Amino acid sequence: MGTDLHAPLGQNRGPGRQRRSIPFGRILGGFCLIAIAGFSLYSALMRDPLQKTQPAETAKKEDPAPAAETKPGSTEQTGQAGLTQVDPQSGANTTRVVTGDGSVVTMFSPSNRDGSGPVLINANQVGQDPRMAATPNDSLLEDSPFGRLPITSPSGLRPMDQYARPWSGARGTRIAIVVSGLGLSQTGTQRAIEKLPEEITLAFAASGNSLQRWMQEARRGGHEILIQVPFEPFDYPGNNPGPDTLLTSLPSAKNIENLHKAMGKITNYTGVMNYLGGRFLANSGAMEPVLRDIGKRGLLFLDDGSSAQSKSGMLSKTLEVPHAFADIQLDGELQQDAILRKLDELERIARRNGSAIGVASAFDESVDAISKWSEEAAMRGIEVVAVSALAEDPKHP
C-alpha cells in the first residue's frame, strides 16, 4: 500500500477499455470531398445554357472529302506551301477544297456587289508599326525578274502610305530634309544612319552595295526611305550616273526595265528620287511613262530640284502622281558653316510658305551640319517631317 502511493497517476488502472476522441476533422474533410465530386459530376452532365444547340446533322460523321466552301472576304491563312495569301481588306471570295490526299487547294475570285448591304469604308492607313519597320508588307509586293517590286494592294493601300513616317498633323512650319547617296560608301552610310535624327529621310542609290542590310538598319532607326534612280544628265556620257541609267534615247520599255531593276534592289520605301537627270527630267516623252509606272505602284516622286527645266511637276499633276520638289540643295559648298547657312535659308522659305524641302548628300560635313541644326529646330517651333508629309498627293489633297 505504501509503495502504491509513489506510483505515477493512472498506472494502477485495470486493463479496461480506454476512451478515444472523435476525429471531427477527418469527417468534415470527407464530406467536402464527396460534395466536390458530386458538383463536378453534375457540371459534366448538365448542358451549358449559353452553348448553341447544334443541328442534328452536325452529329453525323463528316465526309472525308468535303465540298468546296466559299467565303466572301475570307482571310484564312494556312501553312500549306503554294497557297496564296490575299490582303485582308480585298473583299475577294475564297474557295477552299480539301482533296482526297488531304491537300488544301485555295482559289480566289473577286466578289461582285449588288448594291445592297453595308459598305465597309477604311480610313487610309499611314505608317508602320516600328517593330515591323524593316519587314515588307507582302501584299504591297509582286515578283518580277528584277526582284520584288512595289505595288498598290487590292484594297488600295499604297507603299507610300504603309512606309511613311507619321507626323503630328499640326499646321506649323514643316521642313523635310533628304540625305541621298546612301549605300555608295559603307562607312559613310553607317555614320549617316547612326547620327542623323530619325526624322531625316534617307535616299539609297540603286548602284550602292549591301542595300538590303542598310535598308533594314535605316527602317529600324525610324527613317523613311527612298530609292534613288540614275537619270540622264545634259552632259551624258561625259557625266555618267552609272549602270542602267534612264536615257532619252532608249525606248520607254527599256527605261521601265531599268527603273524596275533599281526598284527591285530594296523594299519598304515610299518613293523614287532622281540622281542627276537634267536632260531626262526635261523630256516629257521620256518622263511620262516612268512617272506613270511610279504612280501606278503607289509611290511618290521626289525631284531634287537640280534642273530648272524639269517637267516632273507638270506631268505629275496631269498623271495624278504624288510629287514633291526640293527647294534647296544644301551642300553645294561642302563646308559645315556653309551648309548651316543653307539650312537657315531653308527655314526662311518654310516660314514664308509653310513648308520646305532640302536635299543633301551623305558627306560627313552634311551629316554633322544637319544633325546640329535639327537639334535646335524644335526649339524654334519647326517640325522636321519625312518627305511624304510634304508631297502633293492628288488622292489626298
Query: For residues 110, 115, 116 and 122, what is the CA-based torsion angle, rounded to 10 degrees?
Result: 60
**pLDDT for res 86:** 45
200 and 315 part of one domain:
yes
| pLDDT tens for each residue of 356-390 | 999 999 999 999 999 999 999 999 999 999 999 99
100 and 188 part of one domain:
no
265 and 323 part of one domain:
yes
| pLDDT tens for each residue of 383-392 | 999 999 999 9
In a domain, 239, yes or no: yes
Domain count of the chain? 2
What is the residue range of 188's domain? 134-390
102 and 236 part of one domain:
no
How far is residue 197's CA from residue 375's CA, in Å, rounded to a whole number? Answer: 8
224: Cα separation from own chain's centroid: 11
| pLDDT tens for each residue of 245-299 | 999 999 999 999 999 999 999 999 999 999 999 999 999 999 999 999 999 999 9
**pLDDT for res 130:** 73
pLDDT band at 88 (very low <50, low <70, confident <90, very high): very low
Amino acid, res. 112: N
Amino acid, res. 216: Q
- Residue 194 has phi, psi (to 5 degrees) of -75, -35
Q: Which CATH number is 225's domain given? A: 3.20.20.370
- C-alpha cell, 319: 498623271
Distances (CA, A) of 122 to 90, 126, 134: 11, 12, 25
151 and 99 part of one domain:
no
**Are 98 and 122 a contacting pair, CB within 8 Å?**
no
**pLDDT for res 133:** 87
141 and 217 part of one domain:
yes
pLDDT band at 28 (very low <50, low <70, confident <90, very high): low
pLDDT averaged over the chain?
81
**Are 340 and 366 a contacting pair, CB within 8 Å?**
no
140 and 188 part of one domain:
yes
Task: Give the residue among 300, 231, 301, 226 at the shortest CA–CA distance from 267.
Answer: 226
**pLDDT for res 33:** 65
104 and 215 part of one domain:
no
pLDDT value at 339 more than 50: yes
In a domain, 29, yes or no: no
**pLDDT for res 181:** 97
In a domain, 236, yes or no: yes
**pLDDT for res 107:** 59
| pLDDT tens for each residue of 180-226 | 999 999 999 999 999 999 999 999 999 999 999 999 999 999 999 99
69 and 146 part of one domain:
no
**Are 106 and 145 a contacting pair, CB within 8 Å?**
no
In a domain, 252, yes or no: yes
